[in-house]
Amino acid sequence: MSINTTPKQPGKVWLVGAGPGDPELLTLKTVRVLGAADVVLVDDLVDPRILAHAKPAARIVQVGKRGGCRSTPQAFIEKLMIRLARRGSVVVRLKGGDPFVFGRGGEEAEALARAQILCEVVNGITAGIAVPAAIGIPVTHRALAHGVTFITGHARDGAEPDWAALRAGGTTLVIYMGMKRVATIVKGMLAAGYPADLPACAIQNGTLETQATVVSTLSTLPQSIANAGLGSPGMLVIGDVVRLAHVTALTSQQRAA
């Protein structure tokens, strides 16, 4: 009797972007890769309807990460991906938006490379483009903004952005994870010389049926957000392009139609 002593081949990890929320904004490649996964590690912001594209036998593991809530430690997620891949599993690390835009995908790719685990990236539509577009805001516009800058409102070291340098750049600002710190953000921007009447908006649950928006000015944005009761997950968009927002044209009933 022969015994097969061939070692089991290692699996691989896909770092996959699930897009800004709306399941119809998935890429075709994301759908294909999800359908081949043995294990799917899912972030908290991924719409549950997206998991319909996973094969029935796939193991779904929630590894939620959201500001202000109890989160799965990043080190644990990285070790879990490595352990599963070494067992021969095809692993999908499913993240909201794009894995390389404030998604910690770069850190995970480095960890997998150190462990000599095969890794591929599937980009997703980042919320920084799709969420403003959901209310008619183009983040760039030849007459209004020659560029766009994505920044986080929740830096790891607690440092504030160089607001003066950003003002000099003259780009649209799209701020991820800034809803809870909006008052501090606005204070810093005003101190750096941004106009108090600069158009600004906040968008919660962008691209979903529960999307809610306020359009305001920079100086009044914190109070407008408080009055509307908006919270996370949300995004701030600041710049002249916000003048093009057409919030009233995008009610939840119309989006569901």
d(CA 15, CA 92): 6
Q: Which one of 22, 38, 43, 98 is the catalytic residue?
A: 43
Q: What angle do CA 92, 93, 97 make, to 5 degrees?
A: 120
Question: Is residue 177 annotated as a catalytic residue, yes or no?
Answer: yes
Q: Position 170: which residue type? A: G
Structure tokens at 60: 């779904």
Q: Which one of 38, 81, 98, 177 is the catalytic residue?
A: 177
d(CA 246, CA 41): 36
Question: Is residue 65 annotated as a catalytic residue, yes or no?
Answer: yes
Q: What angle, 0 to 180 degrees and rounded to 10, lies between the N-to-C axes of helices 221-228 and 182-191?
A: 160
d(CA 23, CA 36): 18
> Hey, which residues are catalytic here?
43, 65, 177
